[in-house]
Chain A
Amino acid sequence: MGESKGLGTREKIAAVVSAAILLTIVVYWIIQIDGVMDMLKLANG
């Protein structure tokens, strides 16, 4: 009982942390790709 409750908490923490990491990384790559596109626009005129 206690073990399954502990596992449930661990699962919830893992899901929330994983979702937060994925969201942060998606935002990071959007900013990076946007930066590269701006640089290419500057380079190509």
Chain B
Amino acid sequence: MDVLSLFEGLENSPIGVFVKDKGATFALIEIVHLLGWTVLGGTVLATDLRLLGVVLRDIPSNVVSDSAHKWFKAALITLLITGFFMLAGVATKCYHNFYFWVKMTTLLVGIIFVFAVKRPLLIADHTTLNPLTLKLVALASMSIWFVVAASGRWIGFS
């Protein structure tokens, strides 16, 4: 079974038919998806701009990153669940859309980056870390999540 067959199967599944055919279902799921994005974007900006020394400078960056990471995980789970349902409704369109694959690739890279690189680094005391490394991690983090969000928005335009 190839990938296209999987996507067609998903769109023709009861979930896909429900999302596609039932009135405002897609729009309602998208509202929750976008709310998830606002939380995820907020946690990424709070953590990374703090690491860059731009915002929340009166709060230790360890405190900001620890607090934000809990909300980041909750937002990411929300995005993955609602994203799956949204995909089910338009799976065939997404399969042929270049920006969908950009989004999926950068999303995977972003998740691996957060859980395998960024978080293991940030659980250490930030005062013991090289400030340049922290700034580099913050810039990479903001950049990757911006591409995920931008390519996601572009799926709707293309």
| A residues adjacent to B (C-beta < 8 A) | 4, 7, 10-11, 13-15, 17-19, 21-22, 25, 28
Contacts and interface: CB of A to CB of B under 8 A. Distances in A.
Chain B interface helix/strand/loop/mixed: helix
A14 B137 contact: yes
Interface residues of B, number: 21
B138 to A, nearest CB: 8
B18 interface: no
B118 A25 contact: no
Nearest to B146: A25
Contacts of B118: 14
A14 to B, nearest CB: 5
Contacts, number: 49
B140 A17 contact: yes
B27 interface: no
B147 interface: yes
B113 A7 contact: no
Contacts of A19: 136, 140
A4 B124 CA distance: 10
B144 A25 contact: yes
5 contacts: A7-B124, A11-B129, A15-B133, A17-B117, A25-B143
B130 interface: yes
A19 B133 CA distance: 10
